[in-house]
């Protein structure tokens, strides 16, 4: 993907104008399918672990707050993951060029929400660490129906709340510091790859 690709330009515009962006059919379709397969394979192998909440001293697993299972991604694990990381790198460079965000790093994990699981309203920025700047999620669910639930609900300041259904190859982004959000429960398994562009720690 080129750093002047139209979807990258509209992401930057959206983030400036309203703090969030939704891009449908974002990845090459074969890559979205390969990532979905990989998420399911990792789940089958049992490498996805219950997600924790908090940071450093305060990490805890509380299913009453979030019920997903996750696995962090690293470079070199699979062709599909590396292609995705390369696209996120192109996006990081484009966001820095257009928005001067000073993004230096990117981290991401696969996430699987079993039926009924949710993530209560929260902010993605930790109290003791303000590095997370842009949250970016690619959804990996074929044939998702509105009645199956599972929306990402955003609460932009001064605007109506916004529901984003987790459709295959839909990409959602928002500014991590200012966007309260939650994941609503779904009647079926919900797969995604969730990541954060991070700036240098401000000390
Ligand atoms: C998160 C999160 C949103 C989603 O992992 O912090 O808010 O739609 N995920 O999966
Ligand atoms: Mn979140």
Q: Would you say 191 and 141 are in contact if contact means Cβ atoms under 8 Å apart?
A: yes
C-alpha of residue 6 to centroid of ligand 2, in Å: 26
- Nearest ligand 1 atom to the CA of 181 is 7
Distance between CA 183 and CA 181 in Å, rounded? 7
pLDDT grade for 91, boundaries at 50, 70 and 90: very high
* φ, ψ dihedrals at 201, nearest 5°: -60, 135
* Stronger pLDDT, 95 or 55, i.e. the higher one: 95
C-alpha of residue 31 to centroid of ligand 1, in Å: 21
The total of other beta-carbon atoms located within 10 Å of residue 79's CB is 10
178: closest CA among 96, 99, 122? 122
C-alpha of residue 167 to centroid of ligand 1, in Å: 14
The pLDDT score that the predictor gives to residue 198 is 96
Tens digit of pLDDT for each residue in 153-187? 999 999 999 999 999 999 999 999 999 999 999 99
C-alpha of residue 121 to centroid of ligand 1, in Å: 10
Report the number of distinct structural domains present in the chain: 1
The pLDDT score that the predictor gives to residue 58 is 66
The pLDDT score that the predictor gives to residue 4 is 67
Q: Whose CA is nearest to atom 6 of ligand 1?
A: 124
Most confident of 1-10, 38-47, 63-72: 38-47
> Which CATH number belongs to the domain containing residue 73 in this structure?
2.60.120.620
- Nearest ligand 1 atom to the CA of 190 is 10
* Stronger pLDDT, 18 or 56, i.e. the higher one: 18
For ligand 2, an ion, list residues with CB under 5 A.
Answer: 124
* φ, ψ dihedrals at 94, nearest 5°: -65, -40
Distance between CA 11 and CA 19 in Å, rounded? 10
The 152-154 sheet, strands edge to edge: 119-122, 181-183, 152-154, 162-164
Q: What is the residue range of 140's domain?
A: 5-199
Question: With DSSP H G I counted as helix, E B as strand and the rest as coil, what are the percentages for the chain, rounded to 5?
Answer: 30, 35, 40
The pLDDT score that the predictor gives to residue 59 is 65
Task: Answer whether 162 contacts ligand 1 (Cβ < 6 A).
Answer: no
pTM greater than 0.75: yes
Ligand with minimal distance to 194 CA: 1
The pLDDT score that the predictor gives to residue 200 is 87
Give Cα separations from 51 to 72, 85, 104, 187, 190 (angstroms): 10, 21, 24, 20, 14
Residue 62 pLDDT > 90, yes or no? no
Q: Would you say 169 and 163 are in contact if contact means Cβ atoms under 8 Å apart?
A: no
C-alpha of residue 45 to centroid of ligand 2, in Å: 25
């Amino acid at each position: 993907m080129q750093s002047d690709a139209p979807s990258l330009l509209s992401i930057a515009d959206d983030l400036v104008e309203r703090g969030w962006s939704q891009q449908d059919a974002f990845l090459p379709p074969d890559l979205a399918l390969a990532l979905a397969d990989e998420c399911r394979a990792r789940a089958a192998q049992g490498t996805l672990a219950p997600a924790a909440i908090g940071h450093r001293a305060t990490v805890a697993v509380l299913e009453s707050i979030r019920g997903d299972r996750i696995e962090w991604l690293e470079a070199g694990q699979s062709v599909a993951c590396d292609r995705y990381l390369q696209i996120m790198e192109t996006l990081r460079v484009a966001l820095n060029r257009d928005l001067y965000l000073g993004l230096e790093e990117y981290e991401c994990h696969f996430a699987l929400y079993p039926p009924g699981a949710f993530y209560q309203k929260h902010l993605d920025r930790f109290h003791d660490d303000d590095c997370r700047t842009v949250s970016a999620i690619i959804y990996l669910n074929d044939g998702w129906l509105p009645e199956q639930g599972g929306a990402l609900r955003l609460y932009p300041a001064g605007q109506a709340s916004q529901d984003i259904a987790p459709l295959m190859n839909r990409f959602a982004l928002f500014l991590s510091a200012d966007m309260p959000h939650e994941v609503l429960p779904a009647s079926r398994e919900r797969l995604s790859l969730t990541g954060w562009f991070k700036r240098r720690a401000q000390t």
